[in-house]
Amino acid sequence: MIKLAPSILSADYVNLQRDIEKIEKDSEYLHIDIMDGSFVPSISYGPGWVKAIRPISNLILDVHMMVQNPERYINDFADAGADLIGVHVEATPHIHRALQMIKNKGVKAEVVINPGTPVEAIKPVLYMVDQVLVMTVNPGFGGQKFLPETVKKIKQLDDLKKANGCNFDIEIDGGVNNETVKSAYEAGATVAVAGSYVFNADNPSERIEAIKQATK
Ligand code: DX5
Ligand code: ZN
């Protein structure tokens, strides 16, 4: 069964604590999308949000940095209470250094690839990560359609993981629902981010259950 990481990008910001309580008991992670208006067009929120959420949730705080040159803010997110920090390989010429910085703070390190980026781009750093995030949409917005062509990269990563005896998690993000999750799970995905499918529903925990049932 896949682990769930609801994305608060689609939550009600005025009632964030209430929305987090709705998903807390059914989820493993809480996905926090950081958008800088440069690496992606949108602007979302910063370390202050992570700091505010930390005391109200026991979930793994999964910080997805869609930020150009993420090295500038890694320490801030770690100090704010992130459990896991993801950096895009496309966002820095120094991905190895960025991942080292995350690990030096005692935080789990994740490397992220966009739909247009091949697995080969992250092969040299796979040995040092706790998680790989395969974007299943182009980052920047919630509510987009899952891109099925990304699934072969999940399989490729799962094969590499087995061949090299690594044990990183493989997360998917974008357009995930109880249908699209199936092929990704079969290919080797172990964590699913879901934003609009979970929070744009009267009963978010039913939606989480539907994703979990689809991957039994
Ligand atoms: C997209 C973000 C996602 C987003 C997913 O750039 O990284 O985490 O919240 O939203 P849905 O599940 O609606 O595609
Ligand atoms: Zn995300």
User: Nearest to residue 154, comparing CAs of 215, 93, 66?
Assistant: 215
The structure tokens listed for 189 are 């995905």
Chain segment 133-168, per-residue pLDDT in tens: 999 999 999 999 999 999 999 999 999 999 999 999
Q: What pLDDT score was predicted for residue 45?
A: 98
Determine the pLDDT at residue 182.
98
* Ligand 1 atom closest to Cα of residue 138: 6
At 50-84, the pLDDT tens digits run: 999 999 999 999 999 999 999 999 999 999 999 99
| Phi, psi of 186, rounded to the nearest 5 degrees | -60, -35
The residues, ordered by sequence, that sit 6+ positions from 136 with a Cβ below 8 Å of its Cβ are: 115, 146, 147, 150, 172, 173, 174, 175, 176, 180, 184
Query: How far apart, in Å, are the Cα atoms of 70 and each of 78, 112, 125?
Result: 12, 12, 16
Locate the ligand 1 atom nearest the alpha carbon of residue 64 and give its number. 7
Q: Is 33 known to sit in a ligand binding site?
A: yes
Q: What is the CATH classification number for the domain harbouring 114?
A: 3.20.20.70
Q: What percent of the chain has pLDDT over 70?
A: 100
pLDDT of residue 14: 98
Average pLDDT over residues 32-44: 98
Cα angle, residue 196 at apex, residues 171 and 58 outer, rounded to 5°: 60
pLDDT at 170: 98
What's the pLDDT score for residue 43?
A: 98
Q: What is the pLDDT of residue 59?
A: 98
Q: Is 31 in the pocket of ligand 1 (CB under 6 A)?
A: yes
Which atom, in ligand 1's list, is nearest to the CA of 176? 12
The answer to whether 196 is a known ligand-binding residue is: yes
Rounded distance from Cα 177 to ligand 1 centre (Å): 11
140 lines ligand 1 (CB under 6 A): yes
Cα–Cα distance, 41 to 115 (Å, whole number) = 16
Whose atoms come closest to the Cα of 175: which ligand? 1
Tell me the catalytic residues.
33, 173
Separation of alpha carbons 110 and 32, rounded Å: 13
DSSP state of 28: S
**Is 143 a pocket residue for ligand 1 (Cβ < 6 Å)?**
yes
Give the closest ligand to the alpha carbon of residue 10: 1
Q: How many domains does the chain have?
A: 1
- What number is the ipTM of this complex? 0.99
Q: Give the model's pLDDT for residue 73.
A: 98
What's the pLDDT at 95?
98
| Angle at 150 (CA atoms; ends 154, 129), nearest 5 degrees | 40
* Phi, psi angles (nearest 5°) of residue 34: -100, 115
| Alpha carbon distance 199, 7 (integer Å) | 8
Distance of CA 11 to the CA centre of its chain: 16
Which residue range is the domain that position 154 belongs to?
3-213
What integer best gives the mean pLDDT of the chain? 98
Tell me the CA–centroid distance for residue 9 and ligand 1, in Å.
7
Closest CA to 31 of 66, 70, 71: 66
The pLDDT, as a whole number, for residue 147 is 98
Whether ligand 1 lies within 6 angstroms of the CB of 175 is answered as yes
Give the residue, by CA position, lying nearest to ligand 1 atom 6: 139
Rounded CA gap, 90 and 114, in Å? 8
Phi, psi of 8 (to 5 degrees): -70, -5
- Measured from the CB, is residue 174 less than 6 Å from ligand 1? yes
Cα–Cα distance, 167 to 33 (Å, whole number): 24
